[in-house]
């Protein structure tokens, strides 16, 4: 199962979550922050809102303890993100979350009920593992190529266009038609996918809002998972926020900016997740979670999954993303070009 170290207090089995949260009220308020305040968290857990409990587990405010009874049947958002290898003792990695694979069978996901708030746990686990196995070797090769190119630049080589791509530059071609909600990007806001900022950005009188998992988001486990929760709520138009001081409630307007997601760059790892003993790419993690969980809802809203790809340093790195887009769309059974 999953073990989170937190002042020696656990939640799971016969231990009630609300008792733990009251003992640690200040920590609840700090860590959950702009998602909900402690009183709201207590109320939602007492109402058996499993998403509230799962968020508390994500930010390290709760344990899920295996007392020998097997998987805790509490459902919830984090089902795709919690791993354990069969037969291995409970443990905790340096990042605060146990995420270890079985090299023979791939990552072992703890499925807890049917899930709340996020769809497609099976599709997600298959997509992330498959993309890592197929494309991570190329990613690592391209990162090594960056280092070799830097050595050449340091020795005086000037950047220039490649002769073997001249036919592309000289050819007569056009890109496909832009989606209607991406044609106008004259005013675009960006920021981390925190709950209040995402609300403000989508409600702003601008064309697009870019939710940034890269420069604007410290890649802690709680930030990444809470960000995915917030994006899923935004896509489904149920995103809300209540200020813990003023009590003022914020909700989404009828008219929203177009949502674009910026995954992390190729150089950044996601240290909390491994596949076959290898750390996965932060870019693939952010991309796979958002795509698998939201592509159906986005298309149902008349939009699509839009991605802003940061810090590409060559056409080969762009080609890698394109190949990943094609592979992901094929695996999820959605039309090529949806992304």
The answer to whether residues 187 and 242 belong to one domain is: yes
Q: Which residues pair with 106 in a beta bridge?
A: 102
**Lowest-confidence pick of 62-71, 165-174, 180-189, 203-212:** 62-71
The answer to whether residues 73 and 136 belong to one domain is: no
The answer to whether residues 191 and 323 belong to one domain is: yes
| Per-residue CA distances from 253 to 90, 121, 222, 250, 302 (Å) | 45, 29, 27, 9, 17
The answer to whether residues 36 and 132 belong to one domain is: no
The answer to whether residues 287 and 149 belong to one domain is: yes
Q: Which residues pair with 315 in a beta bridge?
A: none
Is the distance from CB of 289 to CB of 278 less than 8 angstroms? no
Report if residue 165 sits inside a domain.
Answer: no
End residue of a domain, out of 116, 134, 163: 116
Listing DSSP states for 101-146 in one string gives -BTTTB--B---TT-SS---HHHHHHHHHHHHHHHHHHHHHHHHHH
How does strand 258-262 pair with strand 269-275? unpaired
The answer to whether residues 89 and 54 belong to one domain is: yes
Confidence at residue 233, expressed as pLDDT on a 0 to 100 scale = 92
In Å, the largest CA–CA distance within the chain is 69
The rounded mean pLDDT for the chain is 74
Domain of 138, CATH number, reads: 3.20.20.360
Average pLDDT over residues 286-300: 94
| Per-residue CA distances from 205 to 186, 194, 202 (Å) | 12, 19, 8
The answer to whether residues 140 and 5 belong to one domain is: no
Residue 288 φ then ψ, to 5°:
-65, -40
The answer to whether residues 263 and 308 belong to one domain is: yes
The answer to whether residues 5 and 91 belong to one domain is: yes
Write 334-338 long-range contacts (CB < 8 A, 24+): 334/295, 334/299, 337/176, 338/295, 338/299, 338/304, 338/305
Report if residue 164 sits inside a domain.
Answer: no
pLDDT digits (tens, 9 = 90+) for 107-148: 333 222 223 333 345 557 789 999 999 999 999 999 999 999
16, two tokens: 């009630």
**Measured between alpha carbons, how far is 318 from 123 in angstroms, rounded to an integer?**
25
**Measured between alpha carbons, how far is 208 from 181 in angstroms, rounded to an integer?**
9
Report if residue 169 sits inside a domain.
Answer: no
Is the distance from CB of 288 to CB of 124 less than 8 angstroms? yes
pLDDT band at 60 (very low <50, low <70, confident <90, very high): very low
The answer to whether residues 229 and 285 belong to one domain is: yes
pLDDT digits (tens, 9 = 90+) for 26-45: 544 444 443 444 455 555 54
Average pLDDT over residues 9-16: 35
Confidence at residue 329, expressed as pLDDT on a 0 to 100 scale = 96
Report if residue 162 sits inside a domain.
Answer: no
| Per-residue CA distances from 200 to 117, 174, 190, 193, 271 (Å) | 21, 36, 11, 11, 30
Report if residue 247 sits inside a domain.
Answer: yes
Confidence at residue 140, expressed as pLDDT on a 0 to 100 scale = 96
**Measured between alpha carbons, how far is 143 from 266 in angstroms, rounded to an integer?**
8
**76: domain range?**
1-116
Report if residue 194 sits inside a domain.
Answer: yes
Report if residue 172 sits inside a domain.
Answer: no
The answer to whether residues 20 and 95 belong to one domain is: yes
| Per-residue CA distances from 5 to 11, 13, 95 (Å) | 11, 16, 11
Closest listed residue to residue 209, CA positions, set 258, 252, 264:
258
Q: Which residues pair with 281 in a beta bridge?
A: 269
Based on the structure, what is the number of domains in the chain?
Answer: 2
Closest listed residue to residue 215, CA positions, set 196, 251, 238, 191:
191
The answer to whether residues 200 and 273 belong to one domain is: yes
Report if residue 325 sits inside a domain.
Answer: yes
Confidence at residue 52, expressed as pLDDT on a 0 to 100 scale = 52
Confidence at residue 25, expressed as pLDDT on a 0 to 100 scale = 52
């Amino acid at each position: 199962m999953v073990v989170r170290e937190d002042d020696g207090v656990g939640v799971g089995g016969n231990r009630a979550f609300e008792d733990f949260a009251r003992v640690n009220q200040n920590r609840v308020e700090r860590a959950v922050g702009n998602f909900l305040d402690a009183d709201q968290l207590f109320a939602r857990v007492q109402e058996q809102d499993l998403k509230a409990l799962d968020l508390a587990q994500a930010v390290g405010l709760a344990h899920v303890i295996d007392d020998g009874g097997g998987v805790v049947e509490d459902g919830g958002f984090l089902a795709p993100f919690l791993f354990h290898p069969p037969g291995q003792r409970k443990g905790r990695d340096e990042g605060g979350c146990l995420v270890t694979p079985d090299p023979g069978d791939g990552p072992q996901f703890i499925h807890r009920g049917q899930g709340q708030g996020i769809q497609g746990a099976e599709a997600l686990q298959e997509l992330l593992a498959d993309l890592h196995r197929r494309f991570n070797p190329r990613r690592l090769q391209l990162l090594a190529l960056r280092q070799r190119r830097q050595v050449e630049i340091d020795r005086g080589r000037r950047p220039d266009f490649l002769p073997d791509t001249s036919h592309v530059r000289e050819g007569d071609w056009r890109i496909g038609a832009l989606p209607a909600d991406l044609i106008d990007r004259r005013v675009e806001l960006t920021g981390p996918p925190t709950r209040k900022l995402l609300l403000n950005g989508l409600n702003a009188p601008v064309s697009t809002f870019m939710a940034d998992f890269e420069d604007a988001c410290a890649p802690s486990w709680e930030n990444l998972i809470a960000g995915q929760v917030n994006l899923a709520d935004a896509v489904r138009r149920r995103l809300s926020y209540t200020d813990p001081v003023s009590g003022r409630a914020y909700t989404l307007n009828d008219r929203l900016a177009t949502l674009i997601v910026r995954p992390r760059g190729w150089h950044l790892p996601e240290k909390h997740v491994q596949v076959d003993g290898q750390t996965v790419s932060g870019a693939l993690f952010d991309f796979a979670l958002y795509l698998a969980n939201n592509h159906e809802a986005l298309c149902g809203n008349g939009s699509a999954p839009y991605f802003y790809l940061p810090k590409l340093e060559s056409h080969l790195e762009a080609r890698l993303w394109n190949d990943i887009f094609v592979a992901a769309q094929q695996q999820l059974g959605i039309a090529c070009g949806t992304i």
